[in-house]
Structure 1
Amino acid sequence: MNRKELKEFLDAKVEQYNTPDFIPHDPIQIPHLFTDKKDIEISGFLIATIAWGNRKSIINNAHKLMDLMDNAPVDFIKNHEENDLNRFEGFVHRTFNSEDCKTFMRSLQYIESKYGGLEHAFAKAYREQSNLQEAISQFKTIFFEIKHLPRTQKHVSDPMKNSSAKRINMFLRWMVRKDNAGVDFGIWNKIPMSALSLPLDVHTGNIARKLKMLKRKQNDAKAVAELGKVLRKFDPVDPVKYDFALFGLGAFKEL
């Protein structure tokens, strides 16, 4: 396929897969349980953090996490006291354990009180950096301004250390991307859609290589930047809509 044909092919796949039918099969279903903006962003951040591994396990543990927060994420984050965190004893998703979980709760409370919430913290970092990937790195610094165990730092990726930061890029897609189909929320207005990067993983990376959109073999920050250049040529305003196309092509083994 030439570039024009490839764009037309991918645009058609976006139309096919960027539909409400996507929601029940994806971790994004959890923030879709809420209507309040703060509930959506806090639940979304926590669920994106544990969104790796078996999809069924992710969704089951996501529901457990929301249950432990009384299914009122923003209320819990703003008002919990230290002894309320005891309820997370025993919570684990792969390498994300109860101590990591408690640190995330403390940090989210700190970000609410000091920065006015996740959107303002990310927006501050974005204003001060030249691009969103550098802003993610700065956000990580903000997130760990509180006392924490060193082990917990691995659960917030850093593109400046060449991580693809798949889960944070996915969370930012959920929050920032204006989506007529109603999958992504588009509730943040301080970061433009054009700044977003694709949440690159094994499956989307493999499909991108099959389509000759990506040469780099590793799924890292350099690959995210390489693929981003291609996607921004296809759609400079909404480049990450192609995540649906690449994901769908991989998930349904069309290529």
Structure 2
Amino acid sequence: MPNLKTTLDKVYRDRSAEHLANDPLSFCHRFQAPEDQEVAGLIASCFAYGNVKIIKRNLQDIFSEMGSSPRHYVERFDPAKGKRTFSGFKHRFNDGRDLCGLLLAAQIMVREAGTIQGWLLRFHDEAQEDVTETLSGFSASMKELDLGAVFGRGGVPADSYFPFFFPSPASGSACKRLCMYLRWMVRPADGIDLGIWTGIAPSRLVIPVDAHIQRICTFLGLTTRKQADWRMAREITTRLRELDPEDPVKYDFPICHLGISEGCDGKNRATCRNCAITGLCAQGKK
């Protein structure tokens, strides 16, 4: 039987530009400056849910408006003008008002902490096993911001899905999009991830669990849990840490794209014939 580490290391090496082009992370690669990449990453990751074609289409609309520098755009962001500009925007649960709330939140973080990383590091402790407390603190802080310029004096209204951008491990959420954002920023630059944040060690990251990661990691025996929650994310990460203690989440992008780009849906056995993990996968051995 193939060795799990050998197999996953090969899947990692076989990542391609085509995979990246089919991923929201590709929008960050449009910019060279780290201060632009971290702002682009926050926006791209927040809207990275649902159908990938729709995600890319809606992100294209956002970044076309933001121009050559997302950092400069949020620094100069005018909520009143933004609400007019994005009045027709819609991405599943979130609308233009939520997007403007996100842009204002980015503006506040940049203004008060210099960078989004600087803001997030207020809640990070490298002595902790992973980023559980980091994300809990970060998400709580987002919900305490004064976003009245977008939402009005009463704060974020009950019918807004702005809080959906910032789930928390404290509530048990897998926090897929926030974990993905951290992966993009923190992991060493390897042609996929950017490696522009240095305040968090890659060993502290937790894998972003979406439907693809949940399904394929279950097939690989990396989790025994049924619910895609924070406990599953930590369980999978613990198993991957046995393969690479310093960089366990390196396997997220290649595993995920077995589903996104390579067509693994857990049902069509035809895709198993040429799949890189067939020899280890419970589905492929049926």
Q: Give the alignment's TM-score, normalised by structure 1.
A: 0.93
Q: 1:129 to 1:63 in 2, by over 3 A?
A: farther
What's the Cα RMSD here? 1.7
Aligned to 2:105: 107
Amino acid at match of 1:207: I
Code of the aligned partner of 2:102:
F
Deviates more, 1:187-196 or 1:142-151: 142-151
Q: Could you tell me how far apart the structure 2 residues matched to 1:20 and 1:133 are? A: 31
Deviation for aligned residue 1:142: 2.0
Is 1:35 the counterpart of 2:35? The answer is no
Tell me the equivalent position of 2:177. Answer: 167
Opposite residue 132 of structure 1, the aligned amino acid is V
What are the superposed Cα offsets for residues 180-202 of structure 1, whole Å, 9 maximum, x if unpaired? Answer: 3x111001101111011111111
Q: Is the 1:170–1:198 Cα contact (8 Å) retained in structure 2?
A: yes
User: Match for 1:213: what amino acid?
Assistant: L
Do residues 47 (structure 1) and 44 (structure 2) align?
yes
Equivalence for 1:22:
19
Q: Is the 8 A contact 1:129 1:135 kept in 2?
A: no
- The residue type paired with residue 77 of structure 2 is H
AA aligned opposite 1:114: E
Indicate the structure (1 or 2) with the bigger Cα radius of gyration.
2
Identify unmatched segments of 5+ residues in structure 1.
none
Cα distance in structure 2, aligned partners of 1:82 and 1:198: 34
Q: In the alignment, is the contact (CA less than 8 A) between 1:13 and 1:244 conserved in 2? A: no
1:41-94, Cα deviation, whole Å (9 max, x unpaired) = 101110110111111110110010112223421111111223321211111111
Q: In 2, are the aligned partners of 1:231 and 1:239 still within 8 Å (CA)?
A: yes
Q: 1:92 to 1:238 in 2, by over 3 A?
A: same
Q: 1:186 to 1:96 in 2, by over 3 A?
A: same
Whichever residue aligns with residue 239 of structure 1, its letter is P
CA distance in 2, matches of 1:242, 1:199: 11
In the alignment, structure 1 residue 153 sits paired with structure 2 residue 163: yes
Q: Specify the SS of the correspondent of 2:141.
A: helix
Q: Distance in 2 between matches of 1:37 and 1:155?
A: 22
Deviation >4 Å, runs of 4+: none
Q: Which residue of 1 aligns with 2:234?
A: 225
Which residue is equivalent to 2:152? Answer: none
Rounded to whole Å, the distance in 2 between the matches of 1:244 and 1:81 is 35
Distance in 1 separating the partners of 2:90 and 2:68: 18
CA positional deviation for 1:16: 1.2
Say which SS state the counterpart of residue 46 (structure 1) adopts. Answer: helix
- Does the CA-based 8 Å contact 2:126-2:201 persist in structure 1? no
Number of residue pairs matched? 251
Partners of 2:19 and 2:257 within 8 A in 1: no
**Who is 2:209 aligned against?**
200
Structure 1 distance, partners of 2:189, 2:73, is 29
1:230-241 alignment runs, 5 A limit: 230-241=239-250
Among 55, 75, 88, the residue aligned to 1:58: 55
Of 77-86 and 169-178, the range deviating more from structure 2: 77-86
Secondary structure at 2:50 match in 1:
coil
Q: Is the 8 A contact 1:176 1:192 kept in 2?
A: yes
Any idea what SS the aligned residue of 1:139 has? helix
Choose from 187, 192, 196 the match for 1:187: 196
Equivalent position amino acid for 2:198 in 1:
N
- The structure with the largest helix share of the pair is 1
State the 1:20 CA deviation: 3.1
Q: Which amino acid aligns with 2:195?
A: G
Q: Encode CA deviations 1:75-124: one digit per residue, 9 max, x unaligned.
A: 11111223321211111111111111111111111111112221111222
Q: Shift of residue 128 of structure 1?
A: 8.4
What amino acid does structure 2 have at the position aligned with 1:96? N
CA distance in 2 between counterparts of 1:232 and 1:40 reads 27
1:81-96 mapped onto 2 (5 Å cutoff): 81-85=78-82, 86-96=84-94
Q: How many angstroms apart in 1 are the aligned matches of 2:248 and 2:165?
A: 26
Range 149-158 or range 182-191, more displaced? 149-158
